[in-house]
Structures are given as C-alpha cells and as structure tokens.
Chains A and B, each alone.
Chain A
C-alpha cells in the first residue's frame, strides 16, 4: 500500500492549486470547528465562573436533628425532647474533618463557617441581615471578598464587621462607625464597620454581614463547631466526584453545587448541544467538499484508472489510492485548520482573565486533536464513494476515452 500512497501523493501534488484550494476549504471547516469549540467551552466557563464561581462548590451543612423520643416497651411515646427553634444545628467535630477535606485531591480551599440571621442596628435604623462568621485569613477562600471591597479592608478581626454597599447606603454607614448586631439567639454585640464590599449581587450587597468566626460564636452561642463547611475546588466541574469522595471519607453530607442547579445545567447542556450542531455542520461541509472534489478527480482521471487496471492494478489498489488522497487532504486540512485556529485564539484573554464585553474564547478548549481526528475520519468516509466509483471504472471504456 506504500505504492498506492505514493500515487495518491503524486495526484495531490500534480495539481497544486486545486489541492491547495481543497485543503484550504477543509482547513476553514476545521477552523470553524475549533473556533466553535473554544467559544462554546469558553462561554460555559464564563457563565459558570460568573454564576458559580463565587459560590461554594461543595457544601457540608449540619443536619437538623429530629426530636428525640422516649418510647415505652408497649410502643407509646412517653417523652418528646425537642430543642429550641433558635438553636442552630452544628458540625461539632468540624475541626477534625478540615485537614482531611483539605487533603482531598482537587480541593483548593476549605472554609468553616457559622451562619445565622440577625438585625443590624444603627441608631433608630434596623436592617435584617444574614450573618456569616469566617476564620480570619480565609475571608476570600470561597467568595472573592477581597476583590469586591470598595472601602476598607476585608480582614475580619474580633469586633469587626464587613457589609455590602447597598446595606451601608441604606443605613448611611461609613467606615469606623459602631453598629449593633443582634443575632437570632438574642445575643447583641457592638461591632465596628471595617469594610464595605460590592459584588453586584443584590441579595448579597443588601443583606449580608461578615464577621469573624469568634464573633459569630459569641453571637450564636456556639462555643465549638460550625454550621457549615464550604469547599472550593480547582475545577468546579469535578464537584460531583469530589463530593462523593468527601462523603466516603468523612461520612458527612457533602452536597455539590450541581444539586439544585438543574436549570443552569440544562442551559449549559442546551448551549453545548448547539455547539455540537454547529460543529457537525462544519464536519458535514468538509465531507461534502472532499467527496465532491474527489468525485471530480475520479472523473478526470478515468483514463489513468483504466490504464492502471490494464497494467494489473486491482480494485483494492484503486480504492486505496483515492481513500489515501482523502485521508491526506483531511490530515493536511485538519492540521492547517487547527494551527490557524490556535493562532487566531492566541490574542484572546485566558480563561482566568475573562471580562464582560469580550468574547470568552478558551484556547484550551479548541479540541484540536479531536478536530483533526474527526476531519481525517470524515475525509476518509467522504472518499469512499469516489474511490468505489473509481474502482468500478471499466478499463476498456476508460482507455478508449
């Protein structure tokens, strides 16, 4: 078959302009394929980073305990022991689990938190807030709080509080002022406003207050343990598998962000489907282009095919010559298109630097190898019909042309 490959190569090089046009056509198809892959992939990354990027990828929350029952031997309920409603469920042994979770592959950050509700008061003004207590130094582990600060610092020390821009405006707050925060447990603390953030998320900017973990322990009467552990991953797409691993490791109910995000996943899936359609159309265009060019070549070379057959070339040989041409065109066009696609994607910002207003092209999601492989396979499939047609050429008729 080495010789058939030589014939195929010679046919392609014999008419350089036609081959160049054909390869360019294939390359354009591959370029579109790669461009679409990078765009769809980048768009998905962008959407996920904007919607999920600031969220916990995996969350472990304390399960609310069922009321304890004392049941008589006869099956009668004698006593129902239910804790007060204001008592918050806790992960009492959180400290034990944290190093284990931090060591799980793919985990970027772990943030133990105490969360609860409260009222923020300044003078006569009162606002209901959601209070989150975090460990100092881990303020930006999950939400990039540091990046959202518009005034002051994010550092949460004892007796300090950080609130959103909208809430600060509502209460007419400024840095350094003292506020009163009353928790749902009825504990009140006087706190100093040390920072103001603005995330662009209304719920966050309107009704969220961050304090240190030690302050939260006081507010919610929780001398030990936390109410939840938030976990950030290097790859948010690995949340499902990592959550399973953490569950297996700790026995805790680790919930990935994908649970409860079905609509987002459906939207991303629909977007991916659109990408598949576009890429399929690009491949179909390649296949039709190669098939039509090779059919034309088959017709033009009928006399030569007849000569080859007369000289003892079998049908298989003729088929291989034309299939090899298809494969070579696919390979050349695929590599050229992939290279062009890569070069065209280079000027776009990397996935970590996507900004609103720019095309979120992800150069790492160009599917270069897949594009080349599918193109070669498509070109081979496209060449089968012309090759079979060539193999059926009647040498007598062909030589007589």
Chain B
C-alpha cells in the first residue's frame, strides 16, 4: 500500500530524514514514533506530498509521489485522509460545512453531500452538532469533526499527525477507539504519528521508531516493547537496575501465556528460590504481554533454562 525506499530529505544542509525504508500493508495501523524534532511529521507528509524529499522513492497506492503533477497529486490526496494535532477546522464554517468541504471541492452534488455528511456524523457520534460552529465544540468533538472530514471522500489511507496530543487521556482513549473502529469496519489503513507511547501500545500493530531522522526500530509492537534492544531501551527511558552477582534471565510472556502461573509453578517444581528483580506487564493492542527478569545462583541457571525450554512457552534470554 505504501512503500518507502531509502528516503532522505535535507532541509538546507541539515538531514532531517536519513535513508528510511518501510512498507505499510493494507489494513494495518502503523505508528511512526519519536520525540519532537525526530522528523516523524515530515515523514508522514512525504506520503501525501505535502513535503517533498531529496532522495529515494515514496510509492503510495502504486504511484511514485515524486513524479505526480499537480492534478495527479490532488487525485492521490483525495484517497488519503489526514487529521492534525490542532484539528485544522475552518472556524467560520459549521460542522456540516466543514465535513462537506472536501466533497464541495471535488464537485459532488448537494444531495450526495448531504447523504454522506449525515452518515459521517452518525459514525463519529455528532448528529446533534450538525450546525454548530467549531468554537462551541470540545477538543475531542473537534477531532471527531476532523476525522469525519478526512473520511468524506472514502479514503483508503488515513494519516494522523499527533491527533491526540492536544487531548486529555479520556478523550484520547475515545478518539483512539474511533480510529480502531474505522480501521476495522471500513478497512482504512491508518498511519499514526505520535510521541505518546501509550497511543502506540494501544492501537498500533507495527511501529517505526525515529530519532534524529534515523530509523532506530521497526517491527511488531510486541517485539519492540517487550524485547527492546539497547537503543530502544534508551528511547523509552527505561533503565533496568540489575544485580551484578548471579545470573539474570529475562522471561518474555507472549499474550497466550501471560495469565499462566509459570513463575510460581517453576519455583515449586524445581524447589529453587530466585529473586524477581524487574518486571512489567503491558497491554499492547488489546493483548496482555509481560516480561520479567529473575536473578539466580550460577549453579541453578541451567536447571531453570532447561525447565523454561522444555516445559513452558516462555521466551527467555540470559542477560
């Protein structure tokens, strides 16, 4: 659906995107994550041609964005919806007119527009706000209007640029649920740019981590968050304080075993004591997954690893 190959972009002499390659598949929710200034919004804007780029290829819906002329780009953009951090609604237009705008621009008839806007108002749950002006809406409601507007032309892709960053946690949750619903029911591929890890963990299936314009991680959410490498750990700001004596073993609990009493069972069956020195359980994409670091005497290490290997589905590594 989206295929980016060796994308680089310079701003004056500064390299803002550095050799980025990624593929986004149809139907997934893909997250681009990074701290502010990492280049994630710029990367997102390369997809619908709001930003140009210096080197590489960006192929969206089978077309190379770089080669499109103005009308070709307009055509492509009509198939890609976009929402923004500050909602970007027209303040002088009411909810109806805001949602109708893309269809007006593309010359649809009044009847078609009315029908579609009513459908969308129902989808985002704002039927009662049809003729209200944006200043009378809350942040969450504004973003719902923006989402409806982005969906007006039945896009295949929805780009979300920090869409929940200006919202409180509860509103963020409801907006994310709406996005998930849109992804599931309408089959819209969604690309989310965010600096909020909670957002990524909640909705994304895969993610790209950006730092200073470089990719520092790309993969499934479970792998990125549960088995973070050193860079990723630094990125997340997680510092494990591990004992220097004995052996530290990290256990990963994939979603299918995260509720099983593996650790206590192992202790009882092997009759070995160990310290739990670090651990976390996380809800990723509606699955609960966990990781735990245990510390044991060196003599007992093989006993444990053998047990883990033979009797459980837990993934482990010695660190």
Q: Do A and B come from one complex?
A: no
